[in-house]
């Protein structure tokens, strides 16, 4: 009896509802977390019944000004990224594949396509990285399969591992180039010789050379001061560089002559190195806006590349098989320093490489020491005629 009574009392407290009301009952709150959830000490695990933020259209749209600024930022992106994406999109069009956002299968197939062309490993890695980072946020393809193929490619194609370094334009090559550019005593030659002298002494990347503004340069009697807002390895970190002059380089004279010519043309602001016609005229900004690239008055790095090749050949110079390019100016300055006792740390600072970078040591210091070292000097010269006379 007691058991029945207890059972009856427990039922009295229950509430009978219709089936439709059960369907409308609020489900129990579920914990919301995954492997990336991070909680602070004392913080509760979020659940499904937590208050939700309500957004309106105002929270989704950016202004016209912001939209335009974003478009300009995209257009002024890395030329290498644009080239990589242009090639990738052209290939996808031929293959009937979607380029952006691409699938992991398409990304992997394109990687194999580059390998089939026999490109260097560094080139393939660079292009594939640019393509992957060009995809919309959250839609980047998985690169694990492509990297698996690249590992095999490295093993089977040893030549693809070889880096083709730019021929270093050291002073014995640089001085004849500058003199040849100045032979006809024309403004275009003044610009080129100043650009070469500056590129060698500045130890800059070609994009840093052509991005330089007149306002950032101060020419003194024995040096050129350069203010850099930032560079590749010093983002958001400005620097003032002191480029001391040399008798063979004549940096002060060449920069001063070129800037003086610009001033005669009424140009005192904007890019230091800009287009100049063979007849000495400098196109106006309005003319450049109609015909030039998106860089406007600023020269393209490719232009520096073309001028270096032009005057190197015009001066009758020859390389050891390595290609000549705009990077040859940076390589030349670094090589001259490495050949004349500069330490790894000194080269690192002069060329503004990342702290601890292996580039100064492996590309400039060690090769120049290896080239100068000749172990066979220890072996006596074999000269039978001289020995017979003795």
Q: Please, which pLDDT band fits residue 3 given cuts at 50, 70 and 90?
A: very low
What is the 3-state composition of the chain as percent helix, strand, coil, each rounded to the nearest 5?
Answer: 55, 5, 40
Q: Is the pLDDT of residue 143 over 90?
A: yes
Q: Are residues 191 and 85 in the same domain?
A: no
Q: Is residue 24 part of a domain?
A: no
Tell me the C-alpha distance between 224 and 217, whole Å.
7
- Judged by average pLDDT, the poorest of 141-145, 203-207, 303-307, 315-319 is 203-207
Q: Is residue 63 part of a domain?
A: no
At residue 5, the pLDDT reads 47
Q: Is the pLDDT of residue 179 over 90?
A: yes
Q: What is the pTM of this model?
A: 0.63
Q: Is residue 7 part of a domain?
A: no
pLDDT (tens digit per residue) in 338-371? 888 888 888 888 888 878 787 777 777 666 666 6
Please choose, from the candidates 370, 364, 381, the residue with its C-alpha nearest in 3D space to the C-alpha of residue 170: 364
Q: Is the pLDDT of residue 11 over 50?
A: no
- Domain tally, the chain: 2
Whether residue 310 contacts residue 255, with contact meaning beta carbons closer than 8 Å, is answered with no
Q: Are residues 98 and 175 in the same domain?
A: no
Q: Are residues 258 and 111 in the same domain?
A: no
Q: Are residues 184 and 330 in the same domain?
A: yes
Q: Are residues 147 and 293 in the same domain?
A: no
Sign of the Cα pseudo-torsion (374, 376, 380, 382, in order): negative
**Average pLDDT over the chain, rounded to an integer:** 83
Return the CATH number at 149: 1.10.150.130
pLDDT (tens digit per residue) in 256-265? 999 999 999 9
Q: Are residues 91 and 202 in the same domain?
A: no
Please choose, from the candidates 243, 215, 219, the residue with its C-alpha nearest in 3D space to the C-alpha of residue 229: 215
Q: Are residues 152 and 193 in the same domain?
A: no
Q: Is the pLDDT of residue 9 over 50?
A: no
- Cα end-to-end distance, the chain, whole Å: 137
Q: Are residues 184 and 92 in the same domain?
A: no
Q: Are residues 266 and 202 in the same domain?
A: yes
pLDDT (tens digit per residue) in 45-83? 888 777 777 888 888 888 999 988 887 776 655 667 778
At residue 162, the pLDDT reads 61
Mark which of 115, 140, 161 sits at the end of a domain.
161
Q: Is residue 26 part of a domain?
A: no
Return the CATH number at 242: 1.10.443.10
Please choose, from the candidates 177, 208, 309, 202, the residue with its C-alpha nearest in 3D space to the C-alpha of residue 255: 202
Q: Is residue 83 part of a domain?
A: yes
Q: Is residue 296 part of a domain?
A: yes
pLDDT (tens digit per residue) in 21-47? 555 556 677 888 788 888 889 888 888
Q: Are residues 238 and 338 in the same domain?
A: yes
At residue 198, the pLDDT reads 95
Mark which of 161, 187, 222 sits at the end of a domain.
161
At residue 37, the pLDDT reads 84
Ramachandran region of residue 157, left (φ > 0), alpha (ψ -120 to 50) or beta? beta
Q: Is the pLDDT of residue 1 over 60?
A: no
Q: Is residue 324 part of a domain?
A: yes
Q: Please, which pLDDT band fits residue 285 given cuts at 50, 70 and 90?
A: low
Q: Which residue has the tokens 């694990």?
A: 144
At residue 226, the pLDDT reads 93
At residue 6, the pLDDT reads 47
Q: Is the pLDDT of residue 314 over 80?
A: yes
Q: Are residues 261 and 123 in the same domain?
A: no
* C-alpha distances in Å from residue 325, one per residue of 170, 198, 307, 330: 13, 15, 9, 10
pLDDT > 70: what percent of the chain? 83
Q: Which residues contact 247 (CB under 8 A, 6 or more apart)?
A: none
Q: Is the pLDDT of residue 160 over 80?
A: no
Q: Are residues 217 and 359 in the same domain?
A: yes
pLDDT (tens digit per residue) in 192-245? 999 999 999 999 888 888 999 999 999 999 999 999 887 776 676 788 899 999
At residue 115, the pLDDT reads 92
Q: Is residue 21 part of a domain?
A: no
At residue 348, the pLDDT reads 84
Mark which of 108, 127, 161 sits at the end of a domain.
161
Tell me the C-alpha distance between 354 and 259, whole Å.
31
Q: Which residues contact 153 (CB under 8 A, 6 or more apart)?
A: 115, 121, 124, 160
Residue 113 sits in which domain range? 78-161
Whether residue 177 contacts residue 312, with contact meaning beta carbons closer than 8 Å, is answered with yes
Q: Is the pLDDT of residue 284 over 80?
A: no
């Amino acid at each position: 009896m007691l058991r029945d009574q207890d059972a009856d009392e427990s039922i009295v407290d229950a509430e009978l509802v219709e089936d439709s009301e059960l369907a409308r009952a609020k489900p129990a709150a579920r914990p919301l977390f995954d492997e990336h959830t991070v909680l602070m000490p004392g913080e509760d695990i979020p659940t499904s019944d937590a208050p939700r933020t309500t957004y309106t259209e105002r929270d989704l749209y950016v202004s016209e000004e912001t939209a335009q600024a974003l478009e300009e930022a995209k257009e002024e992106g890395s030329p290498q990224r644009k080239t990589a994406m242009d090639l990738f999109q052209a290939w996808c069009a031929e293959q009937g594949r979607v380029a952006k956002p691409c699938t992991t299968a398409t990304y992997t197939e394109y990687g194999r396509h580059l390998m089939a062309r026999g490109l260097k490993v560094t080139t393939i890695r660079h292009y594939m990285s640019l393509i992957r980072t060009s995809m919309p946020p959250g839609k980047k393809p998985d690169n694990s399969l492509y990297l698996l193929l690249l590992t095999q490619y490295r093993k089977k194609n040893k030549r693809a591992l070889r880096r083709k370094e730019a021929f270093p334009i050291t002073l014995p090559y640089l001085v004849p180039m500058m003199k040849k550019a100045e032979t006809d005593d024309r403004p275009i030659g003044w610009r080129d010789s100043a650009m070469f002298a500056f590129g060698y002494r500045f130890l800059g990347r070609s994009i840093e050379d052509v991005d330089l503004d007149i306002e950032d340069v101060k020419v003194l009697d024995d040096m050129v001061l350069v203010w850099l807002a930032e560079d590749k390895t010093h983002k958001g970190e400005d620097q003032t560089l002191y480029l001391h002059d040399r008798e063979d380089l004549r940096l002060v004279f060449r920069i001063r002559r070129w800037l003086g010519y610009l001033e005669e043309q009424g140009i005192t602001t904007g890019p230091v190195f800009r287009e100049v016609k063979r007849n000495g005229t400098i196109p106006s900004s309005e003319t450049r806006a109609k015909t030039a690239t998106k860089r406007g008055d600023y020269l393209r790095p490719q232009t520096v590349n073309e001028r270096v090749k032009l005057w190197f050949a015009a001066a009758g110079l020859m390389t050891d098989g390595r290609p000549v390019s705009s990077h040859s100016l940076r390589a030349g300055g670094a090589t001259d320093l490495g050949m004349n006792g500069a330490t790894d740390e000194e080269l690192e600072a002069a060329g503004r490489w990342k702290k601890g970078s292996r580039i100064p040591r492996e590309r400039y210091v060690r090769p120049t020491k290896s080239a100068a070292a000749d172990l066979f000097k220890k072996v006596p010269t074999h000269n039978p005629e001289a020995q017979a006379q003795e």
